[in-house]
């Protein structure tokens, strides 16, 4: 995202639940898989999200910004203000269960990433693993993509493939997809921060050297 060699990129992670992908990103930052980066804040729209405690244990600042009676746009403006106050330059959605409005998209255009448990464009939205089983596909996986105004429809950065086994349940399939999510998300974030890609139409292509 920048050509400055030693710039520390400041990441903000939005969660609503357990935060396992947030932990995978934190580990990747700590171990140098994502270089020149720091997760400066984890924001949850739910005060009881288990990921908040996990983030605090990692020494990461946590914030709870609940929607309550505010409109979606008012809620998002509060989150945007918190991110800007901490100079966040890349936002990672990690199990954040709200669809972002154009207000947020425009504030962090091409600087917001999401991970989804299917091979998009197949099975967007909720219960992607159940959708895959009910559809009878033989392969599914996970996708990291830029967030735009569409539901799970932004340009694809990274995908990992997972076989669907005959005896799979939603739980077993979800667990195997999650293991790949924990690899795909750090790889995608590292690639975006390196800036070694070009966006042509809907395609995220490796930048020619």
State the catalytic residues: 116
C-alpha separations of 158 from 37, 38, 66, 118, 163 in Å: 19, 21, 30, 12, 17
Cβ contact 190:9 at 8 Å:
no
d(CA 182, CA 199): 24
Supply the DSSP symbol for 99.
Answer: P
Farthest CA pair distance, the chain = 50
d(CA 147, CA 100): 9
Mark 28-60 as b/e (b = at least 16 C-beta within 10 Å). bbeeebbebbebbbbbbbbeebebbebbeebeb
Cβ contact 175:23 at 8 Å:
no
**For residue 69, what are the contacts with CB-CB under 8 A and spacing of at least 6?**
none
Facing residues of 112 across strands? 91
């Amino acid at each position: 995202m920048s050509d400055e060699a030693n710039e520390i990129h400041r990441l903000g992670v939005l969660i609503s639940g357990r935060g396992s992908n947030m932990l995978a990103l934190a580990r990747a930052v700590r171990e140098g898989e994502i270089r020149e980066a720091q997760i400066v804040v984890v924001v949850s729209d739910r005060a009881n999200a288990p990921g908040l405690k996990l983030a605090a244990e990692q020494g990461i600042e946590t914030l709870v910004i609940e929607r309550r009676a505010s409109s979606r746009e008012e809620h998002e403006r509060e989150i945007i203000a918190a991110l800007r106050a901490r100079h966040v330059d890349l936002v990672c959605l990690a199990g954040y269960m709200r669809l972002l409005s154009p207000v947020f998209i425009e504030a962090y255009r091409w600087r917001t990433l999401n991970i989804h448990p299917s091979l998009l464009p197949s099975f967007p939205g909720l219960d992607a693993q159940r959708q895959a089983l009910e559809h009878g596909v033989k392969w599914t996986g996970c996708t990291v993509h830029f967030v735009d105004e569409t539901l799970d429809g932004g340009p694809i950065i990274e995908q990992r493939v997972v076989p669907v086994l005959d005896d799979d349940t939603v739980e077993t399939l979800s667990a195997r997809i999650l293991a790949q999510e924990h690899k795909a998300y750090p790889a995608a974030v590292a690639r975006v921060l390196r800036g070694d890609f070009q966006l042509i139409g809907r395609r995220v292509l490796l930048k020619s050297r």
